Each structure stands twice: as structure tokens, then as C-alpha cells.
Amino acid sequence: SSSTSATLTLSDTTGPELSSQLNLPNSVTCSEIPEIPTLDFIDNCSAQDISISFEEISTFTGNEDNYTITWNWVAIDDCGNETQISHTINVTTENYIEEIYETRCFEDGEIDLYQFLPAGIDDTLEWNVVTDGIEIVNGIFDPLEVELGDYLFTYTTVNENGCYNTIELTLNINDECVVLPCGLDRIKISKAVTPNGDGFNETFRVTGAVDCGYIVELKLFNRFGDIVYQSNDYQNDWSGISPNSSIGNAGRLPNGTYYYVVVLKNSGLKPIAGPIYLGTK
């Protein structure tokens, strides 16, 4: 008799094989980025123990017109053999513009631009003023400080895919005001006077009184209680000057907080008192 023996050493050197279809575009717009597919792999030795990891690499930082997204999959079998699948998509950003047109009367009071943002949009950003010669503070637009006409503002957000969404708000300021009974709600009094030549808050204003037929009697005091300005028929023209007829020093008053008392003659209303800030900035 004779016998023969043999020892066979089986070595797996082949990584897993992709068994899914990978039908992904090479170029898309930011609104057409496909969902990340789930890939399946098979292996000739590891029936169950195939580890699959995924990584996304994007070149988008927040302000590019074009960027790339790279998707990488790595499949590792039970013997440590790995297969890498990679796909890169070129992405073009877009700007979606939504136009809003609103009308307001110049006597309607300050307008909060944030109230015009659609529900669900990020409201932590700043509004941009497109119309020259006007300004807003924290999204507040005062129609009393401008002439009648259209004023354009924009508000832009961007999502994680680089799609921009711009709100173009046009406010038409007119004099088609709803006539209300003449009460305190019709009277608007300046909160600050900044006579620096920029066209905003140049004088202390009491608006609404003329339309109601009231005569405005005004007294302004410094913090010591001295009268620095007074008028029995005020014409919205005080710009921080103390005349010789006042108890306070004549000439340009220093920056600071002053106090007013407004009497609306023939109105039957009580005097209105409050602080007013005088500054040059």
C-alpha cells in the first residue's frame, strides 16, 4: 500500500465586491443633490462579516458659487481585505428670490421688517438696505424719516447645500392713512435728536397733532430742571439749540438726556412728558 498527504492553506486576498447599482450624477444644482445611497457588498469568503463605513467630504464653506461633494464607502471582509468606492459630484449653487410688496402709511409708526419673513426661516440674520439714503436699526424702519415712495430691502439665508433664499421686500410708503379719532395713539414724539447733518432725527418732532387741529406747546428741561427751550406754537424745528430767552445756557446744548412736556392745546388730553436723548452721532 501507499499513502499520500497534502496540507492546503487557503488565503483570502480579495476584497468585497459591490453588488448594488451606483447610478449617481456627476453634476447637479444645490436643490437636486441626491440622497446618499445604501450600498450592498458580497464577499467570496465572508458571508456575513462585512464591515461598511461611509464618509462625506464637501468643499462648501458658505459663499461659493460652485463646490464638490465626495462620497467614500469602504467595505472590509472578515480577513481584512477592503474595497473602496468613491464618487464626486460637482454642485452649482442657486439663489431663489421671493418678492413681497407691502404698503404702509407714513403715520403708521415704526415697521419691523422681521414680521415679513416666512414661517420657519432663520430670523437671526441682518436685513440689507438696497435703497440708497436710508438706514434701519435692528430691522426697524421708520417711515416718518423718509419721503413717500418705494423702499427695497433684502434678507438672504443659505442652507447646508449652498441654496440661497432671498426675500426682496418692497415697502410702499404713502399718505393714504386711515383717519382715526384724535387721541394719544395719533401722537408720535421723537425719542432722540441727532442734528449731525445725516438727514435722520435732525429735529424734535411731535407728529399727528397738526392733523387733529391741535397746537403744540413744548417745554424742554435739562436734568437740573432748568428750561432749555420752550414754544407756545411748536413747529417741529428744535435741533438742540437753547435760545437766550431760556433759563438754561444759550447756544448748542451738550449731549445727554433731556425731558419734555408737551401740551396739546384744545385737545382735552393731559400733558405728555418723557425723556429725549440729544446727541451728535
Mean pLDDT, residues 54-81:
90
- What is the longest distance spanned by two Cα atoms in the chain? 140
Cα distances from 176 to residues 111, 146, 214, in angstroms, run 16, 15, 21
pLDDT higher than 90, residue 211: no
- 272 beta partners: 262
Cα distances from 148 to residues 37, 143, 175, 193, in angstroms, run 56, 8, 7, 22
**129: Cβ contacts below 8 Å, ≥ 6 apart:** 135, 136, 153
Question: What's the confidence (pLDDT) of residue 281?
Answer: 60
Mean pLDDT, residues 66-82:
92
Higher pLDDT, 255 or 267: 255
Q: What is the CATH number assigned to the segment(s) 95-174?
A: 2.60.40
3-class SS of residue 154: strand
**Residue 172 · residue 150 · CB < 8 Å:** yes
Q: What is the pLDDT of residues 88-146, one digit of tens each?
A: 999 999 999 999 999 998 888 899 999 999 888 888 999 999 999 888 999 999 998 88
Decide whether 17-92 matches 95-174 in CATH topology: yes
Distance (Å, whole) CA 222 – CA 235: 21
pLDDT higher than 60, residue 249: no
Q: What is the CATH number assigned to the segment(s) 17-92?
A: 2.60.40
Q: What is the CATH number assigned to the segment(s) 184-278?
A: 2.60.40
**217: Cβ contacts below 8 Å, ≥ 6 apart:** 231, 232, 233, 234, 262, 263, 264, 265
Mean pLDDT, residues 59-71:
89
pLDDT higher than 70, residue 244: no
Question: What's the confidence (pLDDT) of residue 226?
Answer: 92
pLDDT higher than 60, residue 245: no
Residue with cell 440622497: 35
Cα 274 from chain centroid (whole Å): 32
Distance (Å, whole) CA 62 – CA 52: 30
Backbone angles phi, psi at 52, to 5 degrees: -120, 125
Which helix (H) or strand (E) is 251 found in, with range? strand 251-252
Identify the band that residue 266 occupies on the pLDDT scale cut at 50, 70 and 90. Answer: confident
Backbone angles phi, psi at 31, to 5 degrees: -85, -5
Cα distances from 19 to residues 10, 44, 78, 85, 90, in angstroms, run 24, 12, 17, 12, 25
Mean pLDDT, residues 246-256:
71
Residue with cell 440674520: 125
3-state secondary structure 71-99: EEEEEECCCCCEEEEEEEEEEECEEEEEE
- Side-chain-facing half-sphere of 219: CA atoms under 13 Å: 12
Identify the band that residue 61 occupies on the pLDDT scale cut at 50, 70 and 90. Answer: confident
Give percent above pLDDT 70 in the chain: 94
Identify the band that residue 213 occupies on the pLDDT scale cut at 50, 70 and 90. Answer: confident
Mean pLDDT, residues 31-38:
92
- Domain limits, the chain: 17-92, 95-174, 184-278
Question: What's the confidence (pLDDT) of residue 125?
Answer: 92
Q: What is the pLDDT of residues 177-200, one digit of tens each?
A: 765 567 777 788 999 998 888 778
> Does this model's pTM top 0.75?
no
Length of the chain measured in residues: 281
